[in-house]
Structure 1
């Protein structure tokens, strides 16, 4: 077993997409471990707290009129003229990787064990050692067209500080309403529509003393983690799918094991969208977006060895913890295949919790019948009395429902 380090840098990240065409940033063997740094794509909501004097973050976010360190930001076009910028924001998350796994082939399953997760402290002398994150109540949030206070509509950024001195928690520092921002290329962004735009704090009005009596328990986790799909060379990081991606489940943190079906040779694992805390549904559009470093272990399960294991017949992401298994249902299990050539833009028109719930039900039913050898009637009875179905997220176009079954229901006295 080897232990690798994958720091953030313009050559070790890709911004806003999964891809089978990007050269691997790291190649390892099954059983190897890696410490992987990740950055939040929302760090420029407060440059001074989350980027300044951090060499890795500064190198990735560097963008002036003369030079943009990461040109492509999203799975969209890279030839202008642009409305928003190269990649056109069709995908937003900063992803570290890809990590290629030797001998991984389509039909295999990659197990990713999250051994540890820790926050990335501010490098600004004024905030040395403190950790910060940003929450955006954004235009893609479930709430956006149902506001009752003025001004309507509005997008609101809330900056949180993460306290890790004891049981970790986050506390709000201030918030502000997004005002139009002009990027170094001269493009005006009236809304949060392109990743990495630096907010000019002279153009916003900070509101302090907000949420004064609230402490949010920290749930350090990775919102976006998965493998490269086979259907397209560049796939938006926003909608989750059959190889994982932007699942946005706060349970995908320390101690969790995620299983992903391999779609392309090498698997091409990427991770990002780090979160300090999030509730089920991610209602407003984001979690507390922060920068994290994780320790991971990678185990490749070959297709020929899956029979008779919990991975038999697995064609979708699955979470395992010490307490439970979780299956992830989506509006479309594989929207890339089901919606055709315009899938990455068309998926937003089809979001449905009804369909996601049915998909989660079907996946958990298959798991109980295949892995635990139940009849359909037994599986349905158990799901009704012991399984927990919850709304994972309603903001990522391909909406999600998780269906979980606790391991202790299978223990006989």
Structure 2
């Protein structure tokens, strides 16, 4: 989302409605005592399916009861669902028991009722429980045994594969949705009529992984949709609204175009400590909705732990995305990943690349990547109204400065450079790029190749 949100929603109303104690509804239960037992002799492998009992929709929460308890070194196969699956339910939901349980929506009965960090009674805008203040379907959380504030959690992404369509009419295929929507950077700069407009493009992928590209199947313009509870959605303002395809016109799109796929988690992170419910859209020191296509197979993320057990969750899977995610989304598709969680205790970090780490850091075989944001910790820096104000206060200038500061810290702390040396190296050997301009807290990443360092 961008600062267009401010034109549609009073920041004061947003803040008062959403982030009072308990988020305007029933508060999460206290985190139950987790029985970790003794660490196994060999790493365990946990299966974390995606269904209505294992996902939380649109928020991170430090009081969310864990679904899995894992020891350092354990592996987790984690199923993740795209919150855009109902853009074409025939292709992305039908026949899939897990997805059907999550996206179930009958009058007065949703498979997952709360969708966002807003009030459960929809008293702010009347959109639905949670108000869509946060949109991503997140699987988890995973409680990491022994994790405490000040530690660092390492998450190795060992595999990431498309979730096949369960509709027999589309056997061997996977589908995803791209929304050029009202929160996109382009929205107030359109040149063709009608203006404004929101456009959904449905993409097809090879579920077997045999093809490394996606192709568009069709697109349609969003028209007002009435959800099963009778609420009319003039724009895409609440996640998981089932689209009635008899009301839209499907047209061919991007014929002859192949989009290289770069599967990755758009959203993955640990629970922040500053609030009970945290909107899943703006990223921050805890990770979250970073939307960096490099966070895929072969990548390793490092997160500073803010709460007991870390409470790792993942979702918002993407098949492909360019830097900036300009129109509002990537190719949003459901995927299954295999990760390994490794805990680094605070007293063991000195002299390592994780020393004093207070931001999400990415490592690949060949690169280090730091993530800067308009506000490094917007939840703390912007005070009581942080989760509303962030949408109107983001800037690329701030994000670039934060990325610079983090790369400077990385080079000086982990590589022993002086400030002058670090600044020179950043200018001649570091690539800074726009990660995203659509998530409230805008992002800039800094990339430095490992081969720069002789050791």
TM range, normalised to the smaller chain? over 0.9
Partner of 2:227: 183
Matching residue of 1:5: 47
Between the two proteins, the alignment pairs up a number of residues equal to 411
Deviation per residue, 1:333-389 (Å, 9 max, x gap): 000001111111110001100000000000000000010000001000000000000
- RMSD of the TM alignment (CA)? 0.9
Partner of 1:354: 397
User: Which of 77, 82, 88 is the equivalent residue of 1:35?
Assistant: 77
Aligned to 1:404: 447
What TM-score, normalized by structure 2, do the two folds share?
Answer: 0.89
Determine whether 1:192 maps to 2:236.
yes
1:245 is aligned, of 265, 269, 288, to 288
Structure 2 unaligned regions, length at least 5 = 1-42
Contact 2:205 2:211 in 1 (8 A): no
Name the residue aligned to 1:116.
Answer: 159
Question: How do residues 262-301 of structure 1 correspond to structure 2 at under 5 angstroms?
Answer: 262-301=305-344
Give, in angstroms, the shift of residue 66 of structure 1.
Answer: 3.8
What is the CA-CA distance between 1:243 and the residue it aligns to?
0.6
SS in 2 for 1:403: strand
Alpha-carbon offset, residue 165 of structure 1: 5.2
The CA distance in 2 between the partners of 1:247 and 1:191, in whole Å, is 24
1:132 corresponds to: 175
Q: CA separation in 2, counterparts of 1:105 and 1:404?
A: 29
C-alpha separation between the residues in 2 aligned to 1:341 and 1:88? 19
Q: 1:38: how far off?
A: 0.2
* 2:106 aligned residue (56, 64, 79): 64
Partner Cα distance (1:80, 1:36) in 2: 31
> For 2:397, what is the secondary structure of its paired residue?
helix
Q: What SS does the corresponding residue of 2:109 show, helix, strand or coil?
A: coil
- In structure 1, the residue matched to 2:346 is 303
Question: Normalised by the size of structure 1, how large is the TM-score?
Answer: 0.98
Greater displacement, 335-344 / 386-395: 335-344
2:213 corresponds to 1:213: no
Among candidates 383, 386, 403, match of residue 426 of structure 2: 383
Query: For the Cα contact (< 8 Å) 2:122–2:131, is it kept in 1?
Result: no
Is contact 1:135–1:157 with CA below 8 Å preserved after alignment?
A: yes
Cα offset for 1:166? 3.0
- For residue 153 of structure 1, report the CA deviation from its aligned partner: 0.2
CA contact (8 A) 1:123 1:129 kept: no
Distance 2:228 2:255 in 1: 36
Runs of 4+ in 1 over 2 A off after TM superposition: 79-82, 163-167
Partner Cα distance (2:211, 2:105) in 1: 37
| More deviation, 93-102/71-80 | 71-80
For residues 122 and 355 of structure 2, the distance between their equivalents in structure 1, rounded to whole angstroms, comes to 46
Among 200, 214, 237, the residue aligned to 1:157: 200
